[in-house]
Amino acid sequence: MRFYLSFFLILAMAIASSAAAAFADSPSSTVVTANVSGGGLAESGPGSVAATPLTLNGINQTTTFTLPITVNDFTGTGAGWHLTITSTQFSNTAAPTLLKLAPNASHITGVTAVCNGGTCTNPTNTIAYPVLVPVTASTPSTVPFFQAQANTGMGGFTVTPTISVITQSNIYAGDYTSTFTVSLVSGP
C-alpha cells in the first residue's frame, strides 16, 4: 500500500509540475520596422578663388589653383555620382583689346576627396589625369573630372581638383578671369 501511495504521490507531483510548465509565460518575438528615407544629392563650391600670381619672364608659365567642392550624397541609393566641369576662356578685360589665354590653357592635374565627418564610403574614381577643362564653346562643352562608382561616395565630401593654367610668354600683364562651372550628376 505504501508503494502504491508513494507511486501515486510521485505521479501527482509529476503531473502538477508539467501543468505548471504549461501555464508558464512563454517568450514571444516582435518584428520591428524602422523606415529610413533617402536625402538629397547636392554640390556647392566657392564664389571665387585666386591662382598663384605670375611675373612675365619671356617663357610660357603655369599657374595653379584649387577649387574645393562640397559633395553630399545622402540619397542612400548607392547609385554613384560624377562631377563635370566647363569654363569660359580666361580673358583680360582691362587690356586695350579683349585678350584671352588659349582655349586649352586649363587642365585638372589631380583630385582629392576627403570625408567631411560622419561615416562615408570612399568614392572609387577611375578618371585618369590630366583632364582638359573645355571652354563653353568647345565640343564637348563639359567633361567628367571625378566620379564615385556605384556603392561608393555615400556621405559628405570635399572634392578638391588642382587646376593648372598655362600662360603664354607674350601676353599683356593684368588680371585674367574665367568662370568655371561644376555640375553634379547622379550615376557613375
Assigned domain for 62 exists: yes
| Pairwise CA distance, residues 20 & 8, whole Å | 18
58: domain CATH number is 2.60.40
Is 139 within the bounds of a domain?
Answer: yes
CA 11 to chain centre: 73
79 lies in some domain:
yes
Asked if residue 179 is part of any domain, the answer here is yes
Q: In the predicted model, what is the mean pLDDT of residues 29-55?
A: 93
Q: pLDDT tens-digit profile of 88-109?
A: 999 987 766 668 899 999 999 9
CA 130-89-131 angle, 5° bins: 10
Domain that holds residue 100: 41-186
At residue 76, does pLDDT exceed 60? yes
pLDDT mean across residues, the chain: 87
Predicted confidence at residue 15, as pLDDT, reads 52
pLDDT(3) > 50:
no
32 assigned to some structural domain:
no
Residue 33 maps to a domain:
no
Range 148-154 average pLDDT: 97
Residue 178, pLDDT above cutoff 60: yes
Residue written as cell 576627403?
A: 114
Whole-number Cα distances in Å, 182 to 45, 66, 188? 8, 13, 16
Mean pLDDT (whole number) for 74-85: 96
pLDDT 10s digits, 127-139: 999 999 999 887 7
Give domain status of residue 63, yes or no.
Answer: yes
68 falls in which pLDDT band (50, 70, 90)? very high
Percent of the chain with pLDDT strictly greater than 90:
69
What pLDDT, on the 0 to 100 scale, is given for residue 163? 98
The CA–CA distances, whole Å, from 40 to 36, 37, 156, 177 equal 13, 10, 11, 32
- The reply to whether 23 falls in a domain is no
Number of folded domains in the chain?
1
